[in-house]
Amino acid sequence: MKKKLKLTTTAVLVVLLASIIFFQSGCKKTKVKDPVIISVKSTLPSTKTGINLNSGEKINITTNGSWCWGAGTIECCDANGTVGRPVEEERPVTLESEFFGVLIGRIIGTSSNSDYFRIGTSTELSAPMSGELELLMNDRIGFYGDNRNSITVTISFN
C-alpha cells in the first residue's frame, strides 16, 4: 500500500510539474518599450532616431514645440506646418503634398527606403517596412540651413 501511495504521489508531482512547465512556456511575456523622446532640429535634412521598427509595428508619435523656416521673412509653426505654403515658386519640397514645417518621416531599410509620410503633431503609425525611423521638417530641398529651433518628439510603442 505504501509503495502504491508513493508511486501515485510521484506521478501526481510529475504531472503537476509538467503542467507548470507547459503553461509557462506557452505564456510569452511581452516587454513594453519605454517611450523615446527625441529633439528634431529644423536645420538638419534628417534626424535618424536609432529606433528600428518591424514591418507593421505600431507606434504613436506626438510632438511639442515650434520651429521656424525661411530666410528673410521667418515663419514659425508647430509640427502641422504653415497652411498655404509652399507656393509654386518655393518648390520642390521633400514631401510635395504637405505644407512647409510639417513633421514628416520615412523608414530607412537595409536595401531600400519607404516613401516619406506625414506625421504632424500627432499620429499612430504602422511601419510600412522594417528599418530605422527617420524624422525631418518638410522644407525646400537643400534649404534647411535657414531654419531655426527644434521640436520635441515622443515615440510610444503599442
Average pLDDT in the 114-130 region? Answer: 97
| Residue 128 cell numbers, joined | 510600412
Q: Is the pLDDT of residue 152 over 70?
A: yes
Q: How far apart are CA 58 and CA 62, in angstroms?
A: 14
Q: Is the pTM of this model over 0.85?
A: no
Q: How far apart are CA 58 and CA 82, in angstroms?
A: 27
* HEC profile of 39-76: EEECCCCCEEEEEEECCCCEEEEEEECCEEECCCCCEE
Strand partners, 20: none
Upstream peptide bond of 86 is cis (omega within 30 degrees of 0): yes
Q: What pLDDT is stored for residue 25 in this prediction?
A: 47
Confidence of residue 28 (pLDDT cuts 50, 70, 90): very low
Strand partners, 95: none
Confidence of residue 45 (pLDDT cuts 50, 70, 90): very high
12 or 54: which leads in pLDDT: 54
126 or 23: which leads in pLDDT: 126
Domains and CATH numbers, the chain: 36-157 (2.60.120.430)
Q: Is the pLDDT of residue 48 over 90?
A: yes
**What is the pLDDT of the chain when averaged over all its residues?**
86
Q: Is the pLDDT of residue 129 over 70?
A: yes
Q: What is the CA radius of gyration of the chain?
A: 26
